[in-house]
Amino acid sequence: MKEESSSFLKKRTKKLLDSGVRARDQKSSSFFQKTRPFVLAFLAAWPAHAHHSFAMFDQTKTVTIVGTVKEFHWVNPHVSLWVYTAPANGATPELWTIELTSPGNLTRAGWTRHSVSPGDKVSVSIAPLRDGTHGGGFKALTLIDTKQVLTSDFLEKPGLK
Amino acid sequence: MKRLAACLMLAWATVLPAAAAELPDWSGTWTPAVGDQMRRIKTDPVPWTKAAAAQIAALDAQEKAGNPRGLFIDCLPEGMPSWMLITHNALEFLFSPGRVTLLGEADGNRIRRIYTDGRTHSPDPDPSFHGESVGHWEGATLVVDTVGVLPQAYIAVSEAVGLPNNGDLHVIEHLHLAGPDTLHDDLEIIAPHVLTRPWKTTRIYYRQRGRKYEIVEGVCLEGSFTPGTDKNGNAVFVPVPQVNGNPKPQ
């Protein structure tokens, strides 16, 4: 994606980056320079928000992302989670987008719209995007501070509690 | 004479709307057996025509490669029969005099009105995503006959693989409890432009009573907007321009 991105993308990218800077180390300009390519790649690969197939995710693989929640969108038809990785040795943080099922299905799996909040430290297992960009389909999440584990697994039987 | 009277009584009884007290209890929320949906594609293969099968093979290949466009990314309703065939979301039944209503979750506009008041089909119903459904009760089984479905409505085997019915679609369903909390929808799908013969298959739904299983609002297009603020400080939704589900550069 080139510089002629939409004004929306520019605004959204700036919003993401600005708050990412606040969340991390206040080195705004260097952070922006380092992170911009990652963010634009992420936006280009942003999966369909409309109701879509999950075939873009490679379900045979599992990637675990450890980092800090940037945003959590509790929205139909697919909930989204953005996580900044916390790479070792001063490497550039990466922004990953993770797509989940619907709010209704997550509610049945024990979630609420407050289950995950910006700033939470998390470990998230995902089926990665096949094209290699930083995103994936949700498998499981651990809130590192509380050790709470959240999944979106559906049991297929009647009379569930 | 007695036999004639009995036949007339029987015919009369089948067209009369059943009293609510006589109807089975289908209350609660019904969640689909998604794993079984996938298994049934193998056990009850779709009798696609040769031309349709070639298109399905191409869509299958795209899905396996991980880059399908998807059938429902435009947020139009799945419609009939795809809603019943591939939904991953819950549904519920409302019984009222002369009618059964199905309400679905997510993607908006998932609603089926099944008239059980003894009517017959309209001579020329306006085509719609869910078609015109007329039903009657045979004991505890709801038999539903659906016509008037838009030719554009898909016969889907997944969210990425399926074809428009291309017209003259006719769906016959037998909905019944197969256990205290298990409901079967036995479908017969007649689509002469894409199928070589009627496709018979079953979809299974499980009853849930827990409060967290109740249907929640689900607006498909909501994900195409992001919360924002207008010049007067009002909380508004701002559209996200998209191409095939990705933000659109301008």
Q: Is B160 on the interface with A (CB under 8 A)?
A: yes
Which structure tokens are listed for B65? 């490669």
Q: Which residue of A has its CA nearest to B208?
A: A159
CB contact under 8 A, A49 and B245: yes
Nearest to A159 among B70, B208, B217 (CB): B208
Return the higher-pLDDT residue of A1 and B236.
B236
Collapsed DSSP state (helix, strand, coil) of residue B197: coil
Which structure tokens are listed for B238? 């701002």
- Considering the domain architecture, whether residues B89 and B167 belong to the same structural domain is answered as yes
Distance CA A67, CA A142 (A): 11
Nearest to A160 among B68, B213, B223 (CB): B213
- Return the CATH class of domain A7-151: mainly beta
- Considering the domain architecture, whether residues B236 and B166 belong to the same structural domain is answered as no
Distance from the A4 Cα atom to the nearest Cα atom in chain B, whole angstroms: 7
- Considering the domain architecture, whether residues B129 and B198 belong to the same structural domain is answered as yes
Q: Is B210 on the interface with A (CB under 8 A)?
A: yes
Contact A80, A95 (CB under 8 A): no
Among B95-109, B136-150, B172-186, B236-250, name the one with the lowest average pLDDT.
Answer: B236-250
Residues of chain B found within 8 Å of residue A80, distances taken between Cβ atoms = 223
CA distances, A29 to each of A4, A14, A39, A149 (Å): 21, 12, 15, 36
Closest CA to A83 of A146, A145, A50, A38: A38
Residues of chain B found within 8 Å of residue A156, distances taken between Cβ atoms = 31, 33-36, 206
Which structure tokens are listed for B14? 């089948």
Nearest to A48 among B66, B245, B249 (CB): B245
Q: With a CB-CB cutoff of 8 Å, which residues 101-130 of chain B face chain A? A: 105-107
**What integer pLDDT is reported at residue A58 of this predicted model?**
85
Distance CA A62, CA A108 (A): 24
Q: Is B6 on the interface with A (CB under 8 A)?
A: no
Residues of chain A found within 8 Å of residue B74, distances taken between Cβ atoms = 50
**Domain extent for B34:** 10-213
Residue B5 lies in a domain: no
Q: Which residue of B has its CA nearest to A107?
A: B212
CB contact under 8 A, A159 and B246: no
Distance from the A28 Cα atom to the nearest Cα atom in chain B, whole angstroms: 24
Collapsed DSSP state (helix, strand, coil) of residue B40: helix
CB contact under 8 A, B206 and A156: yes
Q: Is B241 on the interface with A (CB under 8 A)?
A: yes
**What integer pLDDT is reported at residue A129 of this predicted model?**
87
Amino acid at A80: S
Which structure tokens are listed for A27? 């080195």
Q: Residue B63 belongs to a domain with what CATH number?
A: 2.40.128.20
Q: Which residue of A has its CA nearest to B215?
A: A104
Collapsed DSSP state (helix, strand, coil) of residue B231: coil
Contact B168, B192 (CB under 8 A): yes
- Considering the domain architecture, whether residues B17 and B84 belong to the same structural domain is answered as yes
What is the 3-state composition of chain A as percent helix, strand, coil, each rounded to the nearest 5? 25, 25, 50
Which residue has 């299958």 as its token pair?
B60
Residue B191 lies in a domain: yes
Q: Are strands B132-138 and B111-115 parallel, antiparallel or unpaired?
A: parallel
Q: Is B26 on the interface with A (CB under 8 A)?
A: no
- Considering the domain architecture, whether residues B91 and B105 belong to the same structural domain is answered as yes
Distance CA B144, CA B186 (A): 10
Contact A85, A146 (CB under 8 A): no
Distance CA B99, CA A20 (A): 54
- Considering the domain architecture, whether residues B240 and B124 belong to the same structural domain is answered as no
**What integer pLDDT is reported at residue B70 of this predicted model?**
85
Contact A93, A17 (CB under 8 A): no
Give the pTM: 0.77
The pLDDT tens digits for B17-47 are 556 668 999 999 999 999 999 999 999 999 9
In degrees and rounded to multiples of 5, residue B99 shows phi and psi of -160, 145
CB contact under 8 A, B250 and A6: yes
Nearest to A77 among B220, B240, B244 (CB): B220
What's the residue count for chain B?
250
Mean pLDDT score, B59-72: 85
Q: Is B229 on the interface with A (CB under 8 A)?
A: no
Displacement of CA B194 from its chain's centroid (Å): 18
**What integer pLDDT is reported at residue A68 of this predicted model?**
95
How many domains does chain B divide into?
A: 2
- Considering the domain architecture, whether residues B202 and B240 belong to the same structural domain is answered as no
**What integer pLDDT is reported at residue B2 of this predicted model?**
57
CB contact under 8 A, A51 and B72: yes
**What integer pLDDT is reported at residue B75 of this predicted model?**
84
Amino acid at A127: A
CB contact under 8 A, B70 and A160: no
Collapsed DSSP state (helix, strand, coil) of residue B22: helix
**Is B63 a residue whose pLDDT tops 60?**
yes
The torsion region of residue B170 among left (phi > 0), alpha (psi -120 to 50) and beta comes to beta
- Considering the domain architecture, whether residues B236 and B202 belong to the same structural domain is answered as no
Distance CA B184, CA B84 (A): 11
**What integer pLDDT is reported at residue A87 of this predicted model?**
77
- Considering the domain architecture, whether residues B116 and B160 belong to the same structural domain is answered as yes
The pLDDT tens digits for B82-130 are 999 999 889 999 999 999 999 998 766 689 999 999 999 999 999 999 9
- Considering the domain architecture, whether residues B171 and B249 belong to the same structural domain is answered as no
Sequence spans of domains, chain A: 7-151
Return the higher-pLDDT residue of B77 and A8.
B77
CB contact under 8 A, A156 and B35: yes
CB contact under 8 A, B223 and A76: yes
- Considering the domain architecture, whether residues B109 and B194 belong to the same structural domain is answered as yes
Task: Count the alpha carbons within 13 Å of B70 in the hemisphere toward its beta carbon.
Answer: 22
Residue B2 lies in a domain: no
Per-residue pLDDT of chain A (161 residues; tens, 9 = 90+): 233 233 333 333 333 333 332 223 233 333 333 333 333 333 333 344 455 667 788 888 999 999 999 989 888 888 889 999 987 788 888 889 899 988 888 988 889 999 999 999 999 999 998 888 888 999 999 999 999 999 988 778 898 88
The pLDDT tens digits for B153-176 are 999 999 899 999 999 999 999 999
Residues of chain B found within 8 Å of residue A75, distances taken between Cβ atoms = 222-223
Residue B243 lies in a domain: yes
- Considering the domain architecture, whether residues B208 and B239 belong to the same structural domain is answered as no
